[in-house]
Structure 1
Amino acid sequence: MKTPIIEVIKTQNFTDLISDVNEVILDSFLEDGLVKDIPIFGLFFKGKNFVSTIQDKLFYKKMFTFLKELENTSSEDRKKETEKIDKNPNYRTKVGEKLLFIINENNDCEKSKYIGILFKKFINQNLNYDDFIRLSNCINKTNIIDLNNFINDISIETSLQKNSEAYLNTGLITQTYYDSLETTYKTGLRSTQKTGIYYKPSNIGTKIRSFLRTK
């Protein structure tokens, strides 16, 4: 099934269309219910205006935030990488459908920005598609405040010992059990670290920090 979002992404003049729009312009059109009059969003509506509820408006704002991150990608790369997945029989859900699921599931425009950054990494072949899906799912599972702290905290492992409960079911962290007596027995040296459960970023969490950290 073809979806409007993937047709928009593959459009040759995508960069020109998305560059003509900023958040202020989008908010104004959303307020008036005229988002279909913005050329890049007109491709979604085919002459009909479906933006009638607050939920619709929030969805298209998330969509715009996602698409804006693809502004400086080439049409050749966007088409090549998305079609590569769509033609792969191992993936039953097309890229466009998957993107709609992911964007619809997230509850904050900032998450859409992060997902857009990751999709750009995929288009530029700096992130494989499977990991894009994994990272996006973890982002959607995490409160935006906790997510930003996780991404930018330079002392993340120390912080996780104090606030691990915020991340336990997100896929962002992993845990290990440390036994100080066992270490002392094996090494003959007294351990200064206490026995207990310790947390650190998982492989997925490490990738999210690497790709999205801004400082």
Structure 2
Amino acid sequence: MDEIIPAFETTLFDPAFTDACLEIAEAGVDSVVDNPLINSIPFASVLLGVGKTVKNFHDRNLLKQTAQFINAFNCGNISEQKLKKHREKINKNPKKAEEELGRVLILLDRNIELKKSKILGHFYHSYVNENINWDQFCELSDVNEKLFISDIQLLRQISNKEITQTNQCKMYRVERLNAVGLINTATSSITISDRGGATNKMIEVSELGSLFCQYGIN
């Protein structure tokens, strides 16, 4: 971690590397292998070793996930003052830098879906921009890791009130969103017939779900 954290910090916050990260984020995994931009990016150089190429799938995936995260982080506006303030804070406190950026790298390393790295980048953007605090970032990033990508559209529909009851969607997806704390449910009606009973529930996004939608997927 001694070298990789500072290299990641430089790559993340220095606008000189934004375009290179964007190009890698948009390239196919196979394209990353021979991309000449790789060795110009501090994080990639430290991860792979100067002058080396990306040979294994694990390193290729981590580079793609990291580039996607950085690309998402740079989408939207952060005031120069807040960006400078945050960078100075972690530069002055190596333990804080390792806590923050080390956590991000561990999460990126475990990601398979690029969408999750993009969402994580949006959350970190919101954290640096002081829209959410560190505890909220940690909570949201934990939920993001557990979330099924296929459930994001349903979460969006619930947030937009396009879906308000469980009889409008698949119940198992509702249960998954409820399990990670993104929605609340309440019994709306119970139907009893010769074939058995059925319970319909009202659904709405939770406070955590609202934060997730506002800062992660909207």
Shorter-chain TM-score above 0.5: yes
TM-score (norm 2): 0.71
Judge which range, 55-64 or 100-109, deviates more.
100-109
How far off its partner does 1:78 sit? Answer: 4.1
How far off its partner does 1:97 sit? Answer: 1.2
CA offsets 1:74-121 (integer angstroms, 9 cap, x no match): 6764463366478598x7961121111221233210111111011011
Instruction: Specify which of 191, 207, 212 is matched with residue 211 of structure 2.
Output: 207
Superposed CA RMSD: 3.8
% same residue = 20
Match of 1:94, SS? helix
How far off its partner does 1:44 sit? Answer: 3.7
Match of 2:178, SS? coil
Q: Taking structure 1 as reference, are residues 195 and 165 closer, same or farther at Cα in structure 2, changes over 3 Å only? A: closer
Judge which range, 33-42 or 129-138, deviates more.
33-42
Structure 2: give runs of 5+ residues left out of the alignment: 191-197
How far off its partner does 1:12 sit? Answer: 9.1
TM-score (norm 1): 0.71
Distance 1:12 1:213 in 2: 21
Q: Taking structure 1 as reference, are residues 36 and 134 closer, same or farther at Cα in structure 2, changes over 3 Å only? A: same
Counterpart contact for 2:185–2:201, Cα < 8 Å: yes
Match of 1:175, SS? strand
Distance 1:54 1:43 in 2: 17
Task: Give the aligned residue type for 1:105.
Answer: R
CA offsets 1:27-69 (integer angstroms, 9 cap, x no match): 4652338664243422444426473222221121011000112
Q: Taking structure 1 as reference, are residues 174 and 37 closer, same or farther at Cα in structure 2, changes over 3 Å only? A: same
Corresponding residue for residue 171 of structure 1: 181
Q: Taking structure 1 as reference, are residues 179 and 165 closer, same or farther at Cα in structure 2, changes over 3 Å only? A: closer
Counterpart contact for 1:122–1:132, Cα < 8 Å: yes
Corresponding residue for residue 139 of structure 1: 144
Q: Taking structure 1 as reference, are residues 110 and 92 closer, same or farther at Cα in structure 2, changes over 3 Å only? A: closer
